[in-house]
Chain A
């Protein structure tokens, strides 16, 4: 009897802290992140600054695919640029340092080696084809990059990128108007609604009626009627679903749309939270596929899927928590980012050790995502 009592007491003693302590420990900075603590934002900005001012190239990524390595290089500069822009907006005292860093990111994205991944897929350059429509949409490169340029222009109305921003905006709007699906192709015969949300957000300031029309079409045709989640991929010509509704795409789309349409962004966030968000030992985790879809596979978009939970969806939904004032979900997800990201402070900078240039840039953008007024 005594032995059983000892065993039971020991087991309970092992389990109790597991339920109550680790997630609370990992969430301890989340309130400060949520309210936009200047010191924390500055530390992560310094970490990301170190990563992107060091020369990085495709060789820094080891996905096993030259295309994906190129996308990740592009994504690292893109997300770092959003982070520097968002922190400039939230703390104007960062402006003199962060605005030039945002411009550095834009210049790197413009460089030949960073835009190579898109050129290799389309066999022509995204910037050479802006003034003519040959069916080469370049939605991924142009949409994401143009959103960064539009955001930069919002912060700096006399942006040196304004003429390029106008040219890309005009090209994207023209191509969207001509597309029967109202979607542009990211690569030949590959159409992703999430990439198109970046396109839409990037042209919102100049083409509001088109954006409204697009949002109505997206709600009707590209959301899963059961869950309200965004379909990950569609057939380029018919617009019919070519993949499932997924967490990584929905959470990322909610982030991009927060630049253009807070209501649609909030709806996507709520759909993701309702149908995909979960807790595990108090940590926030997000499924890649809704529960009714079994055996959904992981890919480059989702990252590794562990017990159905996606690294990317979990990371991207952090932004939705902050943007929509959902402090509890934000804390849970930030705790998970702390556990697996392994943040480390060195001097004045903070870096997530498992993140590398892309992971750190993504977390910088997500943790500093702009809060919408209630």
Chain B
């Protein structure tokens, strides 16, 4: 139980830290602004970076709260069934 809690917490911290790092790193280099204005001259690495950033952002802002609650509920249910 304790080990799983630590693992889940680490996953959450890593996701949030990744989002924070990408946000600052990509902002510094003005990379993600191509994502809504991409054309044939947009370098592929820029598009990939921008797409990856948006994916991480959606994961953190949209799905992370649900993932956390889901894991808490599953741990509680599992704990109860063991008792």
Instruction: Report which A residues bind B (CB closer than 8 A).
Output: 2, 5-6, 9-18, 21-22, 25-26, 61-65, 68, 72, 281, 303-304, 311, 339-340, 342, 344, 346, 351, 353-359
Contact = CB atoms under 8 A, between A and B. Distances in A.
B81 A22 contact: no
Contacts of A356: 30, 33-34, 37
B27 A344 contact: yes
B37 A342 contact: no
A353 B23 contact: yes
Interface residues of B, number: 37
23 contacts: A6-B74, A12-B73, A14-B63, A14-B66, A17-B65, A17-B68, A17-B69, A22-B61, A26-B61, A62-B38, A62-B46, A64-B40, A303-B36, A304-B36, A344-B27, A351-B27, A353-B27, A354-B33, A354-B35, A356-B33, A356-B37, A359-B36, A359-B37
Contacts of B53: 342
B21 interface: no
B41 interface: yes
Contact of B77 (A6, A15, A359): A6
Contacts of A64: 39-42
A98 B74 CA distance: 54
B37 A16 contact: no
B3 interface: no
A47 to B, nearest CB: 11
A305 to B, nearest CB: 11
Given A13-B73, A304-B36, A353-B33, A62 B78 contact: no
User: Which of B53, B67, B70 is packed against the most chain A CB atoms within 10 Å?
Assistant: B70
Contacts of B68: 17
A13 B72 contact: yes
B72 to A, nearest CB: 7
A188 to B, nearest CB: 23
B66 A15 contact: yes
B47 to A, nearest CB: 10
B13 to A, nearest CB: 18
Contacts of B72: 13
A220 B42 CA distance: 42
Contacts of B58: 339
Given A5-B77, A15-B66, A62-B37, 20 more contacts: A9-B73, A16-B66, A17-B65, A17-B66, A17-B68, A18-B66, A25-B61, A61-B37, A62-B46, A64-B41, A339-B61, A344-B27, A353-B27, A353-B32, A354-B32, A355-B33, A355-B36, A356-B37, A357-B33, A359-B37
B26 A353 contact: yes
| Pairs of residues from A and B, 9 with the lowest C-beta to C-beta distance, nearest first | A64-B39, A356-B33, A17-B65, A64-B40, A13-B73, A14-B66, A63-B39, A14-B70, A6-B77
Given A26-B61, A340-B54, A342-B23, A62 B41 contact: yes
Contact of B65 (A2, A9, A18, A358): A18
A82 to B, nearest CB: 20
B27 to A, nearest CB: 4
Nearest to A311: B36
Contacts of A344: 23-24, 27
Nearest to A303: B36
B65 A10 contact: no
B6 interface: no
A5 B80 CA distance: 12
Given A64-B40, A68-B39, A353-B23, A22 B65 contact: yes
Contact of B62 (A6, A9, A22, A351): A22
A148 to B, nearest CB: 22
Contacts of A16: 66, 69
A6 B37 contact: no
Contacts of B54: 340, 354
Contact of A6 (B23, B36, B65, B78): B78
A126 B54 CA distance: 40
A353 B73 CA distance: 35
Contacts of A68: 39
